[in-house]
Amino acid sequence: MDQLVNLTTHDGVAVIVINNPPVNALSPGVPEGLVAALDAAEKDPSADAIVIIGGGRTFIAGADIKELELAAAGRGSGPPEFHGILARIENTAKPVVMAIHGTALGGGNEVAMAGHYRVAVPDAQIGQPEVNLGIIPGAEGTQRLPRLVGVAAAVDLCVSGKPIRAPEALKLGLIDRVIEGDLLKGAVHFAREIAKEGAPLRKTSELSEKLGSEWVDASIYVAGRDQARRTRRNMLAPLKVVDAIEAAATLPFEEGCKKEREIFVECIQSDQARALIHAFFAERAVAKIPDIPKDMPVYNIREAAIIGAGTMGGGIAMACANAGIPVLLKEVEQAALDRGMATIRRNYENSVKKGRFSQEVMDQRMALIHPQLTYEGFERADLILEAAFESMDLKKRIFGELDKIAKLDCVLATNTSTLDIDEIASVTGIPRMVIGLHFFSPANVMRLVEIVRGKATSKPVVATALALAKKLGKVGVVVGNCRGFVGNRMMLPYMREAQLLVEEGATPEQVDRALYNFGMAMGIFAVDDMGGIDLAYRVRQEYKHLEKPGMRMPLVLEKLFHMGRYGQKTGAGWYRYDENRKPIPDPEVHAIIEKTAHEAGIPRRHISDDEIIERCIYIMINEGAKILEEGYALRAADIDVIYLTGYGFPGYRGGPMWYADTVGLKRVRDRIREFRAQHGEWWEPAPLLDKLADQGQTFAAWDAAHEHEMAVA
């Protein structure tokens, strides 16, 4: 018993408290502390029962993922093993009641299930999210959970990885009581009841009535594997976890645990687990800005105001209302305002229909959004965000007006996706209060916010933007103010390379299929059609100055633009669209491509899916390396988070920069050199990539070294 785990006694009940901030992970020392506390509690004649509870904000949030990271990298003491502590808990001679608040996730729920009884506060979250890390539960969770909640519910919880709240856990039989009010008091009261009644020490490992029968369960496994393939495309662990649960229903407990262990070890040694564990920590690291201390004071955003009720403005207004922030939503004309509000209402109605929240919640959120045609009330706003048409002149005019209205400590933000933040800020008297908040469509859904730091943006404003992103349930990534910032700057060469590939012989659907099979949420031509070929054409014009002789630019996009084929919005772009907006390969586009290539004298050839992936992904990686060496992103891991949370890059590949490390930077760089020889200057390897490749280094190592440099700077 040490400060990680301590033991006291309340009203004849031994109370064991786990204190391993921030989330009571099962780090080394915690299981040992638990065993010592159980030994003492068992011997204590004044204690009739035992309650195990988490100190601070949560019960146990799982195994220590840092330990898993080491195990996945083949370092440390190998994959953690918890059989000992679980058996110790279950075989305790006094009733053990688990008292849950905050989260009981992964190993946390597995420890809870080794107890004889479980109680929880109403908003406690309980689940097995291991598949999000590319692994399966490895502490007997796949064996105990089906014994408590049945095979079907266990499959769903483990394949989805989504936690459930206490009331649902009670319905499923995962917990025995929901405690309103003080958890410790309620848990001690419950434990005393159990001891007084002499209720049995229910050992989960010995339960079997919910395991069903082989032929009943067979369809559950089929459905579970379908769910895994459908919702977790190309991922190993969600399929494997069904195998482990099947073992629970067909093998004795100990043998089932062995099967689980085999699968757990197989998963943790996979590239997918390494990539997803990287993504877990990368997402948490983005909020750490070297020159902005954790306790930097921030501006309190109590009221927001948004200019523009279009797709982006409307989505951002919903994100604010969803987080309980009242928002003024301004448009220039009534029709546009009505359209914007109608879209917001429709989106909320769809969510109510899907049971995501109640009509009452919808009404509350709608009530927080105030549509208007004037700047009335803007002088009170703590944050004003401009989401108007993508034109520098218009944005500068708006910021000039805001400069006269906004209060001094109001954060002025622009949702521009490509334009120069410093130039926009230059029309205000307080450029230090100006920042870029680049949301992604649909802004009420997409998790990413690129926080664009201008050269005058003050540190408290950057810290405020990070805090706001967290409050909106988003992932805020701080980036520098270069053209296209990070995400779009890497997207442009990716789009260009895809278009060059179709002029050389591939088809849009072949490229998209290869990217989809690689794991991208959507192929690049489908993305282009969704965003609008007219928008892509306009952005292309803005980048014309970058084009140099010898750098071949694709030709077909311009043709489609001049034909009015703008994509989904016109029913035709790279694809033709049916009434359900389903993309249909279009022979007319094939003909345009072939004719254009012929006229430009571009030789056509068979192009393999491998070449498609290499050219589309390596060009991104190369641009990412340039962004790093130019200092527009703090970490390669930040670039990964941007692509994982904003551009549909597959989590199990860890993001473009982590993927490059997985392939090997020398291989990536050498392939880029080959493309340089074949396709010209677009493929000039980034100096940083060249250097790291020659040194046999990785972007992850560069991050670690850079982090150190920034820390000592």
Annotated catalytic residues are: 110, 130
- Report, in Å, the least distance between residue 221 CB and ligand T1G: 20
- Is 237 one of the binding residues for ligand T1G (CB under 6 A)? no
Stretch that binds ligand T1G, among 62-70, 352-360, 620-628, 645-653 (CB under 6 A): 62-70
Q: Is 47 left (phi over 0), alpha (psi -120 to 50) or beta?
A: beta
* Chain centre to alpha carbon of residue 692: 28
Which residues have CB under 8 Å from 615's CB, separation 6+? Answer: 497, 500, 501, 675
Q: Toward ligand T1G, which CB reaches closer, 137 or 314?
A: 137
Question: Based on C-alpha coordinates, what's the Rg of the chain?
Answer: 28
The number of residues in the chain equals 713
Which residues have CB under 8 Å from 191's CB, separation 6+? Answer: 13, 48, 49, 50, 51, 95, 97, 117
Q: Toward ligand T1G, which CB reaches closer, 105 or 672?
A: 105
- Going through 349-440 in order, the beta strands assigned E by DSSP cover 369-372, 383-386, 411-414, 434-439
Task: Read off the DSSP letter of residue 231.
Answer: H
Q: Toward ligand T1G, which CB reaches closer, 26 or 316?
A: 26
- Is 54 one of the binding residues for ligand T1G (CB under 6 A)? no
Scanning the structure block, which residue is given the tokens 């500068």? Answer: 396
Q: b/e for 225-252, b at 16 or more Cβ within 10 A?
A: bebbeeebeebbbbbbbbbbbbbbbeee
Query: Distance between CA 375 and CA 442 in Å, rounded?
Result: 25
Q: Which of 139, 592, 602, 672 is close enough to bind ligand T1G by CB under 6 A?
A: 139
636, 662 contact by CB (below 8 A): no
* Terminal alpha carbon distance of the chain: 40
Q: Which of 33, 62, 150, 554 is close enough to bind ligand T1G by CB under 6 A?
A: 62
Q: Which of 43, 185, 230, 284 is close enough to bind ligand T1G by CB under 6 A?
A: 284
- Report, in Å, the least distance between residue 669 CB and ligand T1G: 32
Stretch that binds ligand T1G, among 138-146, 173-181, 523-531, 633-641 (CB under 6 A): 138-146
Q: Toward ligand T1G, which CB reaches closer, 191 or 468?
A: 468
Scanning the structure block, which residue is given the tokens 């499959």? Answer: 155
Query: Distance between CA 585 and CA 574 in Å, rounded?
Result: 8
- Report, in Å, the least distance between residue 65 CB and ligand T1G: 4
Interface with ligand T1G in residues 98-137 (CB under 6 A): 103, 105-107, 110, 129-130, 133, 135, 137
Longest dimension (CA), the chain: 93
Query: Distance between CA 237 and CA 225 in Å, rounded?
Result: 11
- Report, in Å, the least distance between residue 237 CB and ligand T1G: 11
492, 484 contact by CB (below 8 A): yes
Question: Applying CB under 6 A, what is the total number of residues that bind ligand T1G?
Answer: 24
- Report, in Å, the least distance between residue 77 CB and ligand T1G: 14
Q: Toward ligand T1G, which CB reaches closer, 108 or 313?
A: 108
Query: Distance between CA 164 and CA 153 in Å, rounded?
Result: 11
- Report, in Å, the least distance between residue 162 CB and ligand T1G: 11
- Is 435 one of the binding residues for ligand T1G (CB under 6 A)? no
Spell out, one character per residue from 400 to 429, where the chain touches ligand T1G: x when CB under 6 A holds, - when not.
------------------------------
Q: Toward ligand T1G, which CB reaches closer, 196 or 284?
A: 284
Which two tokens mark 587? 């022979």
Which two tokens mark 591? 């003909």
Q: Which of 13, 50, 61, 276 is close enough to bind ligand T1G by CB under 6 A?
A: 61
- Is 63 one of the binding residues for ligand T1G (CB under 6 A)? yes
Interface with ligand T1G in residues 140-179 (CB under 6 A): 141
511, 616 contact by CB (below 8 A): yes
Spell out, one character per residue from 8 to 47, where the chain touches ligand T1G: x when CB under 6 A holds, - when not.
--------------xx-x----------------------
- Is 620 one of the binding residues for ligand T1G (CB under 6 A)? no
556, 593 contact by CB (below 8 A): yes
- Report, in Å, the least distance between residue 22 CB and ligand T1G: 4
- Report, in Å, the least distance between residue 270 CB and ligand T1G: 14
- Is 65 one of the binding residues for ligand T1G (CB under 6 A)? yes
Scanning the structure block, which residue is given the tokens 């434990």? Answer: 191
- Is 64 one of the binding residues for ligand T1G (CB under 6 A)? yes
Q: By CB under 6 A, name the binding residues for ligand T1G.
A: 22-23, 25, 61-66, 68, 103, 105-107, 110, 129-130, 133, 135, 137-139, 141, 284
